[in-house]
């Protein structure tokens, strides 16, 4: 069973679509986990489109049992690497914009 307040904690839940993107889990596999009682879920709907919301901690435990801890570790590392690369790309763009602004200010001060 979930701890008190786990459903409301930021980042503690994810949808079936997010589970597919982050962990490579199909909806069938998530439904199988729900039917076996290993995953708690809540149903939701956004703009009329239904989805399942599951607890991240339970999903990770289920993945480790079904596919192995090595698989879970590899997938989590790939997800973190994608986030780091995305953040680095954003910082590079921001730095380039700041460099251009700095050059423009230096030129205007030299006049």
Residue spans per domain, the chain: 1-67, 69-111
Rounded distance, CA 31 to CA 72, Å? Answer: 19
CA count, 13 A, side-chain hemisphere, 1: 3
Tens digit of each residue's pLDDT (9 = 90 or more) over 16-69: 999 999 998 888 999 999 999 999 999 999 999 999 999 999 999 999 999 999
Q: Model-level pTM?
A: 0.75
Reported confidence tier of residue 1, pLDDT bands at 50, 70, 90: low
Q: What is the pLDDT of residue 105?
A: 95
Confidence of residue 111 (pLDDT cuts 50, 70, 90): confident
pLDDT greater than 90 at residue 14: yes
Distance, CA of 17 to CA of 68 (rounded, Å): 21
Each residue's pLDDT tens digit, 72-100: 999 999 999 999 999 999 999 999 999 99
- State which H helix or E strand residue 52 sits in: strand 49-55
Give the CATH fold of the 1-67 domain. Answer: Arc Repressor Mutant, subunit A (1.10.10)
């Amino acid at each position: 069973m979930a701890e008190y307040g786990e459903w409301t904690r930021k980042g503690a839940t994810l949808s079936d679509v997010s589970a597919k993107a982050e962990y490579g889990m199909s909806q069938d596999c998530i439904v199988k986990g729900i039917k076996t009682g290993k995953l708690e879920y809540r149903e939701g709907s956004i703009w009329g489109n239904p989805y399942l919301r599951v607890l991240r901690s339970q999903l990770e435990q289920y993945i480790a049992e079904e596919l192995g801890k090595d698989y879970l570790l590899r997938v989590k590392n790939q997800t973190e690497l994608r986030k780091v690369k995305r953040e680095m790309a954003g910082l590079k763009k921001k730095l380039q914009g700041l460099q251009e602004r700095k050059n423009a200010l230096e030129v205007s001060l030299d006049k």
